[in-house]
Amino acid sequence: MSVDIKTSMPGTPPRVIKDINGQELKELTKAGLQWLKTNQQTVNALNVFPVPDGDTGTNMVLTMQSAWDEISELSEKTAGKMSHAIAHGALMGARGNSGVILSQIWRGFSRALDGAATINHKNIGQVFAEARDTAYKGVVRPVEGTILTVIKDIARAAISSQGTTNNLYEILESIIAAADLSVKNTPDLLPVLKEAGVVDAGGKGLFYILEGMLRYWQGLPLDVAITAIQPLSAMNLENTLEAIEPGQDFEVVLDFHPDNNLNFEDFYASLEGMGTSIQIGEGDGMYRVHIHVPDDKLYEPIIYARSLGTVTKVAIENLVAQMSEIENQRTTRLQLTNVEPGQIAVVAVAPGPGIARVFASLGVAGLVEGGQTMNPSTQELLNAFENLPTDKIIILPNNKNIILAARSAAELTVKKVEVIPTRTVPQGLAAMLRLMPDGEFDDVVAEMTRAIDEVETGEITVATRNVEIDGVQVNEGQIIVLHNGKLVASEEDLTEACLRLLEIARAEDYELITLFYGNNLSMHNVSPIVDTLREKYPEQEFEVQEGGQPHYYFIIGIE
């Protein structure tokens, strides 16, 4: 990197940057990841629907983490070769729609730098233009008001700026200003964002990546968010077991009311001396703290909170024991179907162990754990079928946010792979019932695709925040009803929510209703609900299965 520092003041960041080589691009990538990770929960909270699947920030972090893992040990000095490594890592680790689009942005970025030694003012416009074009081409039906619009506005700013200055620092400042404005404008382009009162999460994540790069050049910290307190409803504590680091022995979650105004900076700094994975939420004067601590500091957060006010609730979990249990569950093998060369093999994504067992019983040859808040990566999907002894593969994503990653996996293999765009578990199960392993591949794909339109899907969960969408007023904590992915009702009672779903879906016109209950229910809770449904719909057949899915009380298929 060629740098001219205009001032000799100690600590002043460089203001003139002429070019970026491979090693500097590596450091910028690391900085983008760090700043995105710091603001991960802020991005997660930008969820249109008030359902517990705000995982855009998590998906983008994991995608960037995979990119960083690919280059962390590379000593490559050319920007072109470094960018290709970044793009490959991002592609293999891409999760969810936001992660896949981000990987495509890196892919276009690297294409424009093919053979280039550095990034400079002469090529930076083309770099972002190719990133824009590749991202748009990767989406079947591009939607404005999303991350795609943001990368388009970024490219426009890069092209414009490169004609006025040779200073990459100034160009990056212009790019970030354009990204910030573009994100703020997303609700004007996508009405559902305006209705929900949020900006596009993917675009905001891309903004944080670029802002992190600028903060690196400015010498600013990358590990403390500007606004680290979030609403209680935005706290996503379900994903905190994704990566338990050494020394994280216990998880502590506590609620307290401070006696005086809380000095947040001092409060956060004190918690950093006790543990990691810190999240802080606030609502109605109450603060909720989440932190992972080593054994010898188990009670320090509680004692500290008591010194500041009144502690009202404490929950402590043994992380080591939880991770051991999770690992045991993951290693418990299901009996999957053995396929012969030339036969059709199906790989399905399942959000819970009970649902996985049903897919296994219907003949899948590969299973991938995943669903809301835990979208599998491109690499995980590829691994599920790459070693199967056949070249005819069908993937059932069973979630709208996994379809793009599945298509990316299909492009990375020499096998003949088709992705049937199942957006829900009931659609995936309906498709499986049409599988003919020895049939003509294209005919089977067509038949399984037709099946997904013959089933209605219902989902029952809890609202994570207050909002009004499509005329449905929802309050945080209410039970909400989704019909084929659309928010249709909110209720105070779980039984009433199920009845409302069946009414909206016109269940009387169908024959079979299958209920998969989640890991937050037991058969003891479910039986009286199903009895009520049977009384209301005596002509319909009801089946009840343990789904084991997180977050959702019920996933319901009506066919």
Mean of the pLDDT values across residues 293-302? 90
pLDDT tops 80 at residue 58: yes
What does the H/E/C string look like for 173-185? Answer: HHHHHHHHHHHHH
User: How many other β-carbons are positioned within 10 Å of the β-carbon of residue 533?
Assistant: 21
Task: Inform me whether the pLDDT recorded for 14 exceeds 70.
Answer: no
**What percent of the chain has a predicted confidence (pLDDT) above 70?**
89
So where are the chain's domains? 2-225, 231-325, 333-454, 456-558
Q: Are strands 512-517 and 541-546 parallel, antiparallel or unpaired?
A: parallel
Query: What is the CATH code for 231-325?
Result: 3.30.70.3100
Q: How confident is the model at residue 476 (pLDDT cuts 50, 70, 90)?
A: confident
Angle at 379 between CA 373 and CA 380, to 5 degrees: 55
Tokens of 183: 């994100």
Q: What is the pLDDT of residue 2?
A: 43
pLDDT of residue 8: 33
For the ranges 154-168, 390-404, 464-478, 493-507, which has the lowest average pLDDT?
464-478
Topology at the third CATH level for domain 333-454: Rossmann fold (3.40.50)
Q: Give the phi and the psi of residue 555 in degrees, each rounded to 5.
A: -115, 125
Q: How many other β-carbons are positioned within 10 Å of the β-carbon of residue 76?
A: 17
Q: How far apart (Å, rounded) are the C-alpha atoms in residues 20 and 23?
A: 8
> d(Cα 51, Cα 347) in Å, to the nearest integer?
27
Polymer length of the chain? 559
Closest to 103 measured CA to CA, from 352, 375, 424, 390: 375
Neighbouring-strand partners of residue 557: 457, 514
* Cβ atoms 209, 32 nearer than 8 A: yes
Beta bridge partners of 486: 483
508: helix, coil or strand? helix
Residue type at 173 in one-letter notation:
E
Rounded average pLDDT over 313-335: 67
Which CATH superfamily includes the segment(s) 2-225?
DhaL domain (1.25.40.340)
**Higher pLDDT pick, 47 / 440:** 440
CA–CA separation, 549 and 499 (whole Å)? 21
pLDDT band per the 50, 70, 90 thresholds, residue 4: very low
CA distance 6 to 3: 9
Q: What percentage of residues in the chain have a pLDDT greater than 90?
A: 66
How much is the pLDDT for 529?
94
Predicted confidence at residue 412, as pLDDT, reads: 93
What average pLDDT score do residues 153-162 get?
A: 95
pLDDT digits (tens, 9 = 90+) for 17-40: 999 999 999 999 999 999 999 888
Average pLDDT, integer, range 329-334: 55
Mean pLDDT of 446-459: 95
pLDDT at 474: 85
CATH code of the domain made up of 456-558: 3.30.1180
Whether pLDDT at 142 is above 80: yes
Average pLDDT, the chain: 88
Residue 83 · residue 46 · CB < 8 Å: no
Cβ atoms of 45 and 229 closer than 8 Å: no
Residue 332: CB partners within 8 Å, gap ≥ 6?
none
Q: Which two tokens stand for residue 5?
A: 């520092």
Would you place residue 301 in the very low, low, confident or very high pLDDT band (cuts 50, 70, 90)? very high
pLDDT band at 192 (very low <50, low <70, confident <90, very high): confident
pLDDT band for position 75 (50/70/90)?
very high
DSSP secondary structure string, 48-92?
Answer: SSSSS---HHHHHHHHHHHHHHHHTT-----HHHHHHHHHHHHHH
- Would the pLDDT of 279 be above 90? no
- pLDDT tens, residue by residue, 398-436: 999 999 999 999 999 999 999 999 999 999 999 999 999
Q: pLDDT tens across 226-272, in order? A: 545 665 555 555 555 444 555 577 889 999 999 998 888 888 889 98
Which of 279, 296, 313 is closest to 41 using CA atoms? 279
Q: Token pair of 105, please?
A: 């942005």
Which of 30-39, 93-102, 337-346, 365-374 has the weakest average pLDDT?
365-374
